[in-house]
Amino acid sequence: MAFLYGFLFGAYKVFPFNQLMAAKHYVETKFGSFESVDGGNVTSVEVQNTFLQRLLLKKVQLGQNIGSGGGIFISGDVLFVVTNKGQVFVFNMDTQTAIESGTIPRAPMNFDAFIASGHPYQNDFRMPWFRVNGVHAESGGSGNHTLFISHNGYIQENDCITHNVSRLDINVSGSTASSTSGWETIFTATPCIEPVPENWLAATPYSGHISGGEITTFDENTLLVTVGDYNRHGLNNAEMWAMDDSNPYGKYILMDKETGEWSVFARGTRNPSGLHIDGTGTIWSVENGPMAGDEMNIVERNENYGWPMVSNGLWYDLDYDFPGGVPRGQHSGYISPVFSWIPAVAPSGIIRMESTKFELWQGDLLVTTMRDQSIRRIRLDDAQNVDYDERIELGHRIRDIATLPDDTLVLFTDDGYLIFIDDGGVIHEEMGAAENERIARLEGFGNLITGTQEATESDTNNITAKAIFDYHCAVCHGSGTNAIGPHLDDIYGRQIGSLENFNYSETLRSDSRTWAPPLMRTFLTNPDSEFAGTTMPKANLKSAEADSLIRYLENL
């Protein structure tokens, strides 16, 4: 049971994370609820007992709607946070401060073209699934780092979605991080992914959540990368990708860090969302199965893990069965998982405990989960079989896990938290000076949401608002010249109905007021209530959308 230790910090102004939202469906149903974020939320340190270890937890909310994708990675003493839509933020874990990173370019996902394609506005398209899927970084010394991300993109000419790996060189010097190169996309999976394939069987035609995307260092020149099968599982005449070595989908692949050249390492995986190579060289992976059947595997070269021929889970529509010819819920004929979760927990990340901290967890695996909102602690025997699986409730969908240089754990959640977890000692002993020092150290992570860069926040807001403007306004309103409606350049503070070369309604032409935020909000959300007879249609904007659009208009 958790109890509060210390004092509540309250709310601080959040710096980077008023996030990418576009228009109607892009905002309302794709990211979940769209809310104006007044500030970050920093809790005091919590103390939570588990079966063997006492945990010290510090939760710092960086922002909302930044998860459901993205990830974190530690490179030296630098923590990279990449949001679901590819914005990069940098923190110094030694000084517990935010590093100015506003000049680092967003991931190359081709958002403008994708928004213009109309796909985000389809009722069955889920925008959170067009995203960054994995994050990895390597330190080159002297403050130089190479950041690798797996992410989706869009090819306008072919009207299709891509699964990519891109790299960016970053230098961190003092309180500033800057890119020393542009993004280089070294890998693009083929075939390209049709947003609406001819044959499909899933909740929606585009299954971007079945993407894999984990990246880790395999050797000096090579990455080990996971790629999901995007529900190309062979059911209902859909393509079957995981068993076809001519494509990277449904595979663990080896990839050259410089050229992106790849080869199949292992096959037969659905959605490998966690990847870790432990101190013995054993490769551990967790993946999301269909309707339970979530798996933990030891991944070995040239092996086949069975998907979609077999699974311990079931397909969501029970009229369909997997084609492997074995009874439902069995995994015979292929490499079996080390462990399966039934019901599903939606595993997301995995690490092995190999430091001197958390002494009674030595050698255990920690698996983070989304659906189960927990850490699962896996105790193994000498033969790598599972002795037991302890559930540690955290109450957040956990997207990623990393280890700081001092072996403190850090989690990244879908609701925008970083959760730092340090060793509070074994539960059969009282806390002492060492634990109190760790508590004081954890409190310092509250500083991560100070030092805001207004330019970075404005850049994020402008991307949000531009998408709303393009969807709701641009059809009728141009920039600099009138169209169906009057141009909106310099509208902020302009007298209503004052352009001489536009034929306004009498209501607008006769109004002597000037455009200011309260009046703009009324006009955007319910134009007839203030200006009876206007031809301006009701845009059906939510409150936060109207606020974002007003800020955008202020800068036109």
514 with 439, same domain?
no
**Residue-range definition of the domain harbouring residue 537:** 465-554
* Residue 2 pLDDT > 90: no
* Residue 54 pLDDT > 70: yes
* Residue 456 pLDDT > 70: no
* Residue 25 pLDDT > 50: no
- Whether 1 is in a domain gets the answer no
Domain count of the chain?
A: 3
173 with 212, same domain?
yes
347 with 483, same domain?
no
395 with 483, same domain?
no
Q: How far apart are CA 245 and CA 251, in angstroms?
A: 8
Which one, of 368, 351, 369, 312, lies nearest residue 335 by Cα? 312
Q: What is the mean pLDDT of residues 406-432?
A: 97
First to last CA, the chain: 52
Asked whether the CA dihedral 146, 152, 157, 160 is positive or negative, the reply is: positive
> Please, are residues 427 and 52 in contact by the beta-carbon 8 Å criterion?
yes
Chain centroid to CA 55: 26
* Residue 437 pLDDT > 90: yes
Which one, of 302, 286, 478, lies nearest residue 386 by Cα? 286
Give the model confidence (pLDDT) of 295-344 as tens digits: 999 999 999 999 999 999 999 999 999 999 999 999 999 999 999 999 99
> Please, are residues 528 and 534 in contact by the beta-carbon 8 Å criterion?
yes
264 with 150, same domain?
yes
pTM: 0.80
Give the model confidence (pLDDT) of 306-319 as tens digits: 999 999 999 999 99
Q: What is the mean pLDDT of residues 281-292?
A: 97
pLDDT of residue 73: 98
491 with 447, same domain?
no
Please, which pLDDT band fits residue 452 given cuts at 50, 70 and 90? very low
- Whether 362 is in a domain gets the answer yes
Q: Which residues contact 449 (CB under 8 A, 6 or more apart)?
A: 12, 13, 14, 15, 39, 40, 42, 60, 61, 62, 98
pLDDT of residue 423: 98
Please, which pLDDT band fits residue 27 given cuts at 50, 70 and 90? very low
Structure tokens at 548: 């974002």
Which CATH number fits the domain that encloses residue 483? 1.10.760.10
125 with 82, same domain?
yes
- Whether 411 is in a domain gets the answer no
Give the model confidence (pLDDT) of 496-548 as tens digits: 889 888 888 888 888 889 999 888 888 888 887 888 877 777 776 766 677 77
* Residue 373 pLDDT > 90: yes
Q: What is the mean pLDDT of residues 29-34?
A: 31
pLDDT of residue 533: 75
Please, which pLDDT band fits residue 16 given cuts at 50, 70 and 90? very low
> Please, are residues 263 and 247 in contact by the beta-carbon 8 Å criterion?
no
Which one, of 278, 297, 290, 336, lies nearest residue 316 by Cα? 290
Q: What is the mean pLDDT of the chain?
A: 88
Q: What is the mean pLDDT of residues 115-144?
A: 90
445 with 546, same domain?
no
pLDDT of residue 505: 84
271 with 361, same domain?
yes
pLDDT of residue 35: 27
* Residue 34 pLDDT > 50: no
Burial 74-109 (b: 16+ CB within 10 A, else e): bbbebbbbbbbbbbbbbbbbeebbbbbbbebebbbb
Q: Which residues contact 454 (CB under 8 A, 6 or more apart)?
A: none
- Whether 47 is in a domain gets the answer yes
291 with 202, same domain?
yes
* Residue 19 pLDDT > 50: no
* Residue 554 pLDDT > 90: no
pLDDT of residue 323: 94
pLDDT of residue 306: 98
* Residue 281 pLDDT > 80: yes
315 with 330, same domain?
yes
- Whether 407 is in a domain gets the answer no
353 with 433, same domain?
no
- Whether 94 is in a domain gets the answer yes
Higher pLDDT, 392 or 10: 392
Q: Sort strands 212-219 and 184-188 into parallel, antiparallel or unpaired.
A: unpaired
Which one, of 178, 101, 187, 110, lies nearest residue 148 by Cα? 187
Q: How far apart are CA 303 and CA 288, in angstroms?
A: 18
- Whether 77 is in a domain gets the answer yes
Angle of helix 454-472 relative to helix 543-554, nearest 10 degrees, comes to 110
31-35, 275-279, 511-515 — which is least confidently predicted? Answer: 31-35
213-222, 379-388, 519-528, 529-538 — which is least confidently predicted? Answer: 529-538
* Residue 6 pLDDT > 60: no
- Whether 5 is in a domain gets the answer no
Q: What is the mean pLDDT of residues 261-276?
A: 99
* Residue 394 pLDDT > 90: yes
pLDDT of residue 463: 54
Burial 337-346 (b: 16+ CB within 10 A, else e): bbbbbeebbb
Which CATH number fits the domain that encloses residue 122? 2.120.10.30
